[in-house]
Amino acid sequence: MKMGLVEESWRFYEWTKETKDPRTRNWFLLNDNPIYVILIVLAYYFIVWQGPKFMKNRKPYELQTFMIIYNWFLVILSAYMTFEIVYSSYLIGYFSTSNPLCAKYKHSEAYKDPKEMRLANVLYIYFLSKILEFMDTFLMILRKKDNQITYLHVYHHSSILIVWWIVMTYMPGGQSWMSSSMNCSVHVVMYAYYALAAIPSMRSKLWWKKYITKFQLVSFTC
């Protein structure tokens, strides 16, 4: 019984290797196993755990200039990814189907299509951007905004990287265009707010602050 379970597990492992997308197989962080991504997530957890302890007896950092630059960079990056994901999906023909939200990923044909490759490339940038967004948490730690580091915040930032490792390894296309483009479009608004809120004179003028939490909840579902 035990040997049968081992053999079945090994067959499943071999099957997962065979079903990987041939285009992304040798891309950075998308090799035969998720060990590097898992190590990145564990490092993130370690910083979340030890960071507040490190800052306990230290004064919070202001980081105003860095936050403005960082947030505007993510606004521009998110806007670019939104356009590129949606436009690539349109070129592929996802919008000509009866249900664009359930676009079918043609695994055996996708690697031959330059339009599918264009979508895979921008989804790879999206995947890497999830690592960059760990900086959101690190800035909260350095500014001693520990009350903002909720379970949902940490869970979202860490799990989405693993989920998108799976997407990029096995099916970088199809329905994944919808969640990624929605997440990016939400981030355009969200990071624009953060960039403006980093400027003290602008904070009182941000009347749309009450909508940011709703935008964040939408982002968490993507």
Residues designated catalytic: 156
Q: Are 180 and 85 contacting, i.e. CB atoms less than 8 angstroms apart?
A: yes
The token pair that represents 121 in the structure block = 């490339």
How far is residue 64 from each of residues 24, 73, 129, measured CA to CA in Å? Answer: 38, 14, 21
Helix, strand, coil percentages, rounded to 5, for the chain? 75, 0, 25
Distance CA 178, CA 156 (A): 18
Q: Are 115 and 142 contacting, i.e. CB atoms less than 8 angstroms apart?
A: no
Residue keyed to tokens 């041939």: 22
Distance CA 41, CA 49 (A): 12
